[in-house]
């Protein structure tokens, strides 16, 4: 297993209950995994981003720390944010996948629907010879249309 994945898993196990945040010491963690301290930053910047539903705070110097905060939002708020601010004009398959999986993690949609959405957004759905940037544009439009459909579900009851 990749080091990064192990560290990611380890960090996620730090949450015991419903706490909003956990704290860790970068150097301690690095020593525990016998890796370069900057490896911790790598894990944080690739797996604990706002797209994944996390925010990071930290302080250097004596008594320094890294705090990882889980972002809590209402489902409709999340959808609004994704539609109006996050997705934008273009989006990569990777980013789109992260967003879909996070929607499921957060309970806004089922894991099955997340898979369904990701299936539509995966690179294989666009394996035709057109410029890559255009694919990201189509993907963004597709994703937004699906998000819109999700938003309408809720508001119909």
Which residues form the interface with DNA (CB under 7 A)? 2-5, 24-28, 35-42, 45-46, 56, 58-66, 94, 123, 127, 129
Of 7-15, 16-24, 31-39, 123-131, the segment contacting a copy of itself by CB under 8 A is: 123-131
Query: What is the rounded distance in angstroms from the CA atom of residue 86 to the CA atom of residue 76?
Result: 14
**The tokens 């944010």 sit on which residue?**
81
Q: From the CB of 64, what's the least distance to a copy of itself, in Å?
A: 9
Tokens standing for 91?
A: 């989006």
Of 18-26, 34-42, 49-57, 73-81, the segment contacting a copy of itself by CB under 8 A is: 49-57
Confirm if 24 and 65 have CB atoms less than 8 A apart: yes
Tokens standing for 127?
A: 């394996």
Query: What is the rounded distance in angstroms from the CA atom of residue 50 to the CA atom of residue 34?
Result: 27
Pick between residue 46 and residue 149 the one whose CB is nearest to DNA.
46
Query: What is the rounded distance in angstroms from the CA atom of residue 1 to the CA atom of residue 10?
Result: 13
Binding mask 54-93 for a copy of itself (x = CB under 8 A): -xxx----xx------------------------------
Binding mask 9-48 for a copy of itself (x = CB under 8 A): ----------------------------------------
The 3-class secondary structure across 6-44, one letter per residue, is HHHHHHHCCCCCCCCEEEECHHHHHHHCCCCHHHHHHHH
Q: From the CB of 86, what's the least distance to a copy of itself, in Å?
A: 17
């Amino acid at each position: 297993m990749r080091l990064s994945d192990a560290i990611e898993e380890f960090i996620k196990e730090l949450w015991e209950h419903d706490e909003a945040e956990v704290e860790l010491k970068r150097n301690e963690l690095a020593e525990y995994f016998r890796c370069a301290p900057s490896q911790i930053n790598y894990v944080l910047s690739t797996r604990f981003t706002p797209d994944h539903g996390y925010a990071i705070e930290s302080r250097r110097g004596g008594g320094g720390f890294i705090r990882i905060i889980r972002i809590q939002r209402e489902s409709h708020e999340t959808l609004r944010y994704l539609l109006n601010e996050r997705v934008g004009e273009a989006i990569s398959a990777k980013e789109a996948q992260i967003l879909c999986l996070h929607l499921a993690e957060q309970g806004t949609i089922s894991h099955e629907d997340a898979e369904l959405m990701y299936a539509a957004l995966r690179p294989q759905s666009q394996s035709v010879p057109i410029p890559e940037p255009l694919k990201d544009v189509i993907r963004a439009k597709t994703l937004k249309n699906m998000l819109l459909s999700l938003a309408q579900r809720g508001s119909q009851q």
